[in-house]
Amino acid sequence: MLMRAIGLVFVAAVLATQVPGAFEAWQKPVSNGGTGETPAPTPVAVAPAGTTILEADAAGHYRGTFRLNGKATEAMVDTGASLVAINETTARRIGVSIASLDFKYPISTANGETRAAHIRLQRVEIGSVRVDDVDAFVLRDKALSGTLIGVSFLKHLGSYSAEGDRLRLER
């Protein structure tokens, strides 16, 4: 009887740790810009705990799969962005109620002037680097197509530096 109970606890523990990740992977979109191709992930180099290294893409941008409030999100590091910036679609996906947002802050983007709503992300993670309570802006979908990781995340790091085609983030 005790062996059955231990076996049941073991199976429950394995399911509890593996099913959420499998479910998130199942929900991820498969196509990239309607081309039908699966996007290639940007490599993250092996680094010591508390450090993540992003490889530059072909355009020289540092992109990676960040976790915003625990949800995987492809994003680009942008040292010219004061705050982390996400669009409405991403905000909904990570649990932000769009109905309660007040798009009252005028901002300038590469695409011109727009308005944004201020939020605070519970956490932003990439690799073994984690920052809690990160200021962010939500922009309308038409004003921002992707996610930008700005200085509101970077300033909480111990350091960050570009070395050749690598960006080193250290907590």
Domain map (residue ranges) of the chain: 1-37, 44-170
Phi-psi region of 94 (alpha: psi -120 to 50; beta: other; left: phi over 0): alpha
Q: What is the pLDDT of residues 159-169, one digit of tens each?
A: 999 999 999 99
Strands 159-163 and 44-45: unpaired
Which amino acid is residue 83, in one-letter code? L
What is the structure's pLDDT at 42?
53
Cα of 17 vs its chain's centroid, Å: 21
Q: Please name every residue paired with 131 in a beta bridge, in sequence order, or none if there are none.
A: 124
Decide if 118 contacts 99 (C-beta within 8 A).
no
What is the structure's pLDDT at 46?
60
Q: Which of 143, 167, 129, 154 has the alpha carbon at shortest distance from 45?
A: 167
Q: What is the pLDDT of residues 72-98, one digit of tens each?
A: 999 999 999 999 999 999 999 999 999
Q: Is residue 123's pLDDT more than 60?
A: yes
Q: What is the pTM of this model?
A: 0.73
Q: What is the DSSP string of the chain?
A: -HHHHHHHHHHHHHHHHHHHHHHHHHHS---STTS-PPPPPPPEE---TTEEEEEB-TTS-BEEEEEETTEEEEEEE-TT-SSEEEEHHHHHHTT--GGG----EEEEETTEEEEEEEEEEEEEEETTEEEEEEEEEEE-TTT-SS-EE-HHHHTTSSEEEEETTEEEEE-
- Please state, in angstroms and rounded to a whole number, the distance separating the CA atoms of residues 1 and 3: 5
Q: Which CATH class is domain 44-170?
A: mainly beta
Q: Look up residue 154 and give its two tokens.
A: 């970077």
